Structures are given as structure tokens and as C-alpha cells.
Structure 1
Amino acid sequence: MSSKKNFLVQGKPGTGKSLLMYDIAKELIDREQVLIIHTGKLNDGHRKLIEKGFNISPIKQYKKIDTDKKIKYILIDESQRLKLHQLNDFIEYSGRSDVKLVFFADGEQTLHKSEANEKICEKITFHIEQGQNQGEKFKLKSKIRSNIDLAQFILKILTLPLSLSDKE
């Protein structure tokens, strides 16, 4: 990855933000400590990925991040759902450590009026563009969710071992 410290990946629903996030995590997991923060409750799919070696935590437990694990990357899915104090905590933590933050978000996809009012994507963008740990933004444009070949690829990737050492 880049020498920059923070990243924002934006895209509308179905553009592959979460898939990209898990693919990035899978690539990094053999070399670095990666933490995935999910801004909702964990589901069965998350638990299966945890069994396969992914380090996934619900946002409610973000203050319990084990800093002794030498985490190098924190990937935050559905970042538009962060509360302002949570965003500030992540930015502060990244600023005083070697941790790189990668936000995955769709600012137009909110569940509650309070999420829309917080304008977290705008705040992340401001931080990426003008903050002390400036970074890069990426925009995903085309929908991939309805692509049949991609759906088959997703099913295959979920059955792959995380590393070559997992092969029998």
C-alpha cells in the first residue's frame, strides 16, 4: 500500500466496497495485523470469516482494540455510520501510532436521520484532504453486485484458504 496514512473508498450500493475491503484484508493478513471494524452487529458471515482468520470487531467494541497486537491497518466498513466521537477517536489513534485507516463509505446510504446529520463522509473527506495525516480518496463507479461472474468469484473466494500454509 501507499506511504499515505489514511484512505477513503466511496461508492454507491452494489459497487463492491465491502468486497474490496475483504479482498484488501485478505491480501494484507499474511504480512500485517489487520482489524476490520463493522459498524453494525456481526452476523453469521462475519463469524465464518473470523473462523477463517479475519480479525473483525463490531463498532460497539472499538474502544477495546488490543493495541498490543501491533495493528497496522484498520479497515472500517460502512464508515458513514460512525458517530463523530468514534471517527475522531480513530483519527487520533492513527495520528499517534503507525496505524493506517481505510474508510469504506457511501454518504448517501444512511439508516437514521442522525447519520445524515452527522455528515461523516464529509468529515472523513476533509480529514483525508486537509488533515495532518492526509491521504487519498478512491471512487468506485460501476455496480458489480449483479454480475453473475463476480457472484461466482465471491463464492469461490470465501472457500479459499487464507494463506498457502492452510493448504493440505
Structure 2
Amino acid sequence: MTPFSLREYLAISENPALLNDALKYHRMTQKSKESEDFRAFLSVLSESLDKAKDIDGWFLGTDLGVVPDFDVLWYGQKFVLNINLKHVWLSTMSKKTVRTFKTQARIFRLLSPDLLVCNIVFDAHEKTFFKLENDSLIEISVNYLLKLMNGKNGLQQNQVANLSSSSFLISPLTDTEGFLSDKYWLAEDQESIKQGCSQPGVFGVQGKAGSGKSLIAFDLAKSLNGKKNVLFVFSGAIRPAHKYLETIFASVHFVPAKSVGKEDLDKYDVLIVDEAQRLYDEQRKQIAQWAEENYSKKTVLFFYDVDQALGPKDAGNLMHSLCTSFERRKKGKVFFLKKGFDPIQVFKHL
């Protein structure tokens, strides 16, 4: 990934074909409105620069998948500008934007605990800048921004993009303490689905491998501990981490799918089935019948992948049909997860 310079981008950005070719060369992506907004951003900077002066080091559209994407990044020595482009800025956007910056801050901490991060919002419509200070967005001048960069070119490497998923993703079954210490967060769509499932009914959460199904399942079990009796059903054999989690979560019981027939389901308020497409026919029918009889007072959650077929018992389409049947009869709802990272999004060393 090669950064743009200010003059280079301004020279080509009004020609869509040239810009598209340049983005490919620089190995970056950018939406059309972001292109328009970034051009406005650079135009404001250029008006306060000497005509012979250029500023290099602009990285666009950095997306790791686990946090909101970074519109624009510019790196100095032990310093980074994180710029959020807004086509039109409204004060009602402040809370969400501050949350975005806080979430992205976890990534920067992985680069260096001493890294100074300056979070900036640019309002392309009004040509104004705002800086995050103490959870508030304070208007700043273009000269203040240029002073931060100290008239220098930025570094030539995108340190955020160079992070691999192994740098910050672990599984709660391999780093259970990290999971128990809340060193992770739910993406916006995952949080929305979690809230939507927090009531009686039969809910299906469909998503491909890596979309975050297990993240929601484990997080729900943790959040319900001590409030509801939860049965967590999973495919495969029970692992030491399951047994350890059970000693921590007093009201959560982990059980392999093959053993669910031995359970008295009436003892539980919430039934979570992870990788539900892997249930055998007998297991699926038993849970479906219990769900039918108890949907108005119990919560049943199926997490499944329609396309996965690891063996003859995998039945994603059957599971999806079951969940949509409950939805059609207003006894539940089906949610869809976008592609994300797998395994569970838990951050190391924060």
C-alpha cells in the first residue's frame, strides 16, 4: 500500500477513471462520496499551503473488518491523524462518532502504547474541522491541523493495515481469561442482534463462518449469567475451557449437542444452540418441539450457517426453514450477520 500525496490526489480526483486506476495502484478503496469529501478536505489544506508545498502520506479506506473502517490515516513519528469524513455533519452524529473513535482506539493501542492519536472529523459541506477532546468534538482551524503535521510528509507505511488478524484476535476457548476480562466488543450489527434476541421467542442468527455468530452466543451467555438459567449447546466434544467457563458462570451449563437429549430443557430459561446446522435430525426435532411449546415464555436461539456442509448431518437449509417458520407465525425472528472475522473478536494485551 503506497500513500497518496496531497497534490497527486487533487490532480487526479476529478477524473473518475484516473482516480480508479490510481486507487488500484495504491491498493486502496474509496466510495464515491468519500472521494468527494477527501478532495474537499485536501482543497482546504492546500489553500493554506505554499503552492510549492506538498504533503505526502495519506492512506484511504483502511478496513480491518472488526472495527469501523478508517476513512483517512496519516502517520507522523509516534503520532497519527485519524480523520473521519462526513459529507454533511450534524450535531446528532456526535455520540456515534465518539463511539467509533473509541472503538478504533483499541487498534492504535496495539501499535504502541505511546502513540499519540488525534481524532478529527471533517465536515465537507461546511469545510470545518472538529477534534475529539474528552469525549467532545471541538471545532479547530485548518492551521491547527497543519501545525500538528509540522509541515512534514507522513510515514510511508500504513501501520494499521499491516496488522494481521493474529495480532488481535483470539478465541475464548483458547484465551478464556481474555474473554472473561471483557477484552472485546460487539460490532454494531452484532450488538443490534443481541438486543433483538433478549426476549422470549425463537430466534435464528444466520451467518457464514467468521461472521461473528459464536461471538454473540458466548457474549449472550455471559451477560445472562446470574439472571437466567442458560443451556449452551455446541457441536463437537466438550473441552476444558467449557468446563472452566461453567465454574465461572453459575447459571450457564455447556453441553455437547449429542447429549442434549439427556437434558431436562424445562429447567432452563434460555437455550443457545451454536452451529445449529450440525444438529442431528432427532436433536433438532426435540429442540424444535420444546421451542414450539415454550416460545412465549422461553428464549431459544439458533446460530447457524446455511452453506456449511462438513458432513452428512449438516443441515443449514433445514435449520433456516425452521427459524423462518417461527418468524412467519410471529413467534420469533431471523437475523443475518455480515461477513467478519473468526474466531471471536477478543483483543490481546489491551
For the superposition of Structure 1 and Structure 2, which TM-score range results when normalised by the shorter chain? Answer: 0.7 to 0.9
Matching of residue 16 in structure 1 with residue 212 in structure 2: yes
Matching of residue 95 in structure 1 with residue 292 in structure 2: yes
Give me the whole-angstrom Cα distance separating, in 2, the residues matched to 1:21 and 1:146: 12
Pairs within 5 Å for 1:24-39: 24-39=220-235
Shift of 1:134: 2.4
> Any idea what the Cα deviations from partners look like across 1:39-87, whole Å, max 9, x if unmatched?
2211222222122223101112111213463x11100000001122322
Give me the whole-angstrom Cα distance separating, in 2, the residues matched to 1:65 and 1:120: 23
| AA matched with 1:62 | V
Structure with higher helix content: 1
Q: Cα RMSD over matched residues? A: 2.6
Moved over 6 A (4+): none
**How many residue pairs were aligned?**
150
Shift of 1:100: 1.8
Give me the whole-angstrom Cα distance separating, in 1, the residues matched to 2:271 and 2:290: 10
Give me the whole-angstrom Cα distance separating, in 2, the residues matched to 1:110 and 1:49: 29
Partner of 2:192: none
Give me the whole-angstrom Cα distance separating, in 1, the residues matched to 2:292 and 2:339: 33
SS across alignment from 1:45: helix
Shift of 1:4: 4.7
Give me the whole-angstrom Cα distance separating, in 2, the residues matched to 1:146 and 1:58: 19
Give me the whole-angstrom Cα distance separating, in 1, the residues matched to 2:319 and 2:264: 26
Pairs within 5 Å for 1:63-82: 63-67=261-265, 69=267, 71-82=268-279
Q: Would you say the 8 A contact 1:5–1:101 is kept in 2?
A: yes
Which runs of 5 or more structure 1 residues have no equivalent in the other structure? 157-168
Give me the whole-angstrom Cα distance separating, in 1, the residues matched to 2:347 and 2:199: 34
Give me the whole-angstrom Cα distance separating, in 1, the residues matched to 2:313 and 2:258: 17
Shift of 1:141: 0.2
Give me the whole-angstrom Cα distance separating, in 1, the residues matched to 2:266 and 2:337: 34
| AA matched with 1:127 | S
Give me the whole-angstrom Cα distance separating, in 1, the residues matched to 2:347 and 2:227: 27
Give me the whole-angstrom Cα distance separating, in 2, the residues matched to 1:61 and 1:107: 23
Structure ID, larger Rg: 2
Q: Would you say the 8 A contact 1:83–1:120 is kept in 2?
A: no
Matching of residue 152 in structure 1 with residue 347 in structure 2: yes
Q: Would you say the 8 A contact 1:78–1:106 is kept in 2?
A: yes
| AA matched with 2:241 | G
Q: Would you say the 8 A contact 2:200–2:298 is kept in 1?
A: no
Shift of 1:16: 1.2
Partner of 1:129: 327
| AA matched with 1:151 | V
Q: Would you say the 8 A contact 1:81–1:120 is kept in 2?
A: no
Give me the whole-angstrom Cα distance separating, in 2, the residues matched to 1:85 and 1:47: 25
Which runs of 5 or more structure 2 residues have no equivalent in the other structure? 1-196
Matching of residue 62 in structure 1 with residue 62 in structure 2: no
| AA matched with 2:314 | E
Give me the whole-angstrom Cα distance separating, in 2, the residues matched to 1:23 and 1:146: 13
TM-score by structure 1 length? 0.76
Give me the whole-angstrom Cα distance separating, in 2, the residues matched to 1:84 and 1:130: 22
> Any idea what the Cα deviations from partners look like across 1:81-140, whole Å, max 9, x if unmatched?
112232221121122233321000111122113425x73333323333335x62111111
Q: Would you say the 8 A contact 1:145–1:151 is kept in 2?
A: no
| AA matched with 1:59 | A
SS across alignment from 1:93: helix
Give me the whole-angstrom Cα distance separating, in 1, the residues matched to 2:313 and 2:263: 25
More deviation in 82-91 or 60-69? 60-69
Partner of 1:105: 304
